[in-house]
């Protein structure tokens, strides 16, 4: 079981997380489209804190001893998926930048020779 103190602490962390996301959306440093994913992630975190009996049953079903371990595992998996997603995005952007750089060099040459 998760203690009341830990529940309050996790709830505060989640609220801070929401505030950071909202500020990022407001300042347009994060696109609204991808922010949905982060908000859903926060909502799941928040709900998870208050449904520990259900999570205990899930722990028993999977074979994880403690709910905190389950939360840690879920957090780890979520970060792994997100980092993989960001890695893919990074590679796609790199390819686009290279293609743009090549086009720029070729166009500069065309302009120079006109």
Partner 1 sequence: MNNKKILIIIPAYNEEKNILSTFESVKKYKKVKLDYIVINDGSKDLTEKVLQENKINHLTLPFNMGIGAAVQTGYKYAFNNNYDIAIQFDGDGQHDINYVEKLIDPIINNKANMTIGSRYIENISKFKSSFSRQLGIKLISSFIKILTGIKIKDVTSGYRAVDRTIIKLFSLDYPHEYPEPVTNYSILKSGYKVKEVGVNMYARTNGKSSINFVKSIYYVFNVFISILLFNFKPYKEGKK
Residue 52's contacts (CB-CB under 8 Å, 6 or more residues apart) are 1, 2, 67
CB nearer to partner 1: give 26 or 114. 114
Q: Give CA–CA dist 11/38, Å, rounded.
A: 16
Kindly report the number of other CB atoms within 10 A of residue 35's CB atom.
Answer: 14
Kindly report the number of other CB atoms within 10 A of residue 101's CB atom.
Answer: 10
Is residue 96 part of the contact set for partner 1 (CB under 8 A)? Answer: no
CB nearer to partner 1: give 75 or 101. 101
- Give the shortest CB-91-to-partner 1 separation in angstroms: 11
Buried b (16+ CB within 10 A) or exposed e, 5-14: eeeeebeeeb
Is residue 16 part of the contact set for partner 1 (CB under 8 A)? Answer: no
Segment interacting with partner 1 (CB under 8 A) among 34-42, 48-56, 58-66, 101-109: 101-109
Is residue 101 part of the contact set for partner 1 (CB under 8 A)? Answer: yes
CB nearer to partner 1: give 4 or 111. 111
Binding residues (CB under 8 A) for partner 1: these are: 95, 98, 101-102, 104-106, 108-109
């Amino acid at each position: 079981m998760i203690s009341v103190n830990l529940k309050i602490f996790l709830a505060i962390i989640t609220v801070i997380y929401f505030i950071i996301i909202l500020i990022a959306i407001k300042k347009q440093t994060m696109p609204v489209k991808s922010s949905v994913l982060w908000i859903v992630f926060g909502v799941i975190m928040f709900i998870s804190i208050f449904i520990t009996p259900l999570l205990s049953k899930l722990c028993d079903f999977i074979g994880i001893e403690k709910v905190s371990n389950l939360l840690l595992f879920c957090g780890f998996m979520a970060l792994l998926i997100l980092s993989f997603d960001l890695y893919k995005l990074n590679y796609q952007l790199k390819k686009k930048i290279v293609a743009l750089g090549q086009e720029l060099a070729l166009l500069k040459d065309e302009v120079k020779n006109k």
